[in-house]
Structure 1
Amino acid sequence: MRQDTQVIARFFAILLLVIPGLLATFGFLTMKNVIFDYIADCGNDGLAAPSFGWLPFLGGFIMFAIGVAFIGGWVFYRDRKRNYVASRFRKKKGLRPASFKPMIDQQNNARNGSSSEPPASP
């Protein structure tokens, strides 16, 4: 039973990468076809002023950008997790924030008029 769930999980993981790849491919081919059609129409003497298909070109560009960004982000996240990236892209291992308890105690003492410090000697 466990082996079946692993196979299904890996299949969905592959689909998560294949679908954006197909989206990027379709977007690239759409942009290529729009540019080719415009250049082919420029050579057609029957057309007075060939028009460029901006809407399909921008749609193809958006699909291409989304697909490439998803795959690039996935590769970057995986490499960052395995520490394969340059030092400037590694997660910063800074100091953990200090506890807020001393600050809260000081605020409560200030409100109550008491202090945790020993009284000053005369």
Structure 2
Amino acid sequence: MTRLLALIIVLIPGILAVIGVKLMRDSAFSIENWPFTNVWLQFAFGLFLFIMGLAFIGGFIYRRDKKRKKVTKRFKHR
């Protein structure tokens, strides 16, 4: 059950990051989607979603590896 919960926790930000990539791709080809009025606003929101999703997944993996003591000395702060 806990593994399923962990998968869901990682899957949601991953889906948001994929949506961010789609929004950035659409704005590169000048395709406007519904809630956005400008292409640059759509690109900025897509970039925000992508960065936040990537940061969450990276932090999740870093925290898991830190708990299992698989992080090198260079990345250990405490």
- TM-score normalised over the length of structure 1: 0.54
Deviation at 1:11, TM superposition (A): 2.5
In the alignment, which residue of structure 1 is the partner of 2:7? 14
Identical aligned pairs, as a percentage?
39
Letter in 2 for 1:29: K
RMSD, aligned CA? 1.7
In the alignment, which residue of structure 2 is the partner of 1:29? 22
| Structure 2 unaligned blocks of 5 or more | 32-37
- TM-score normalised over the length of structure 2: 0.80
In the alignment, which residue of structure 2 is the partner of 1:80? 66
Deviation at 1:84, TM superposition (A): 1.3
Q: Please give the alpha-carbon distance, in whole angstroms, between the structure 2 residues aligned to 1:77 and 1:13.
A: 13
Aligned counterpart for 1:55 among listed residues 29, 41, 46: 41
Q: Which has the higher contact order (CA 8 A, sep 6+)?
A: 2
Larger Rg computed on CA atoms: 1
Higher helix share: 2
How many pairs does the alignment contain? 72
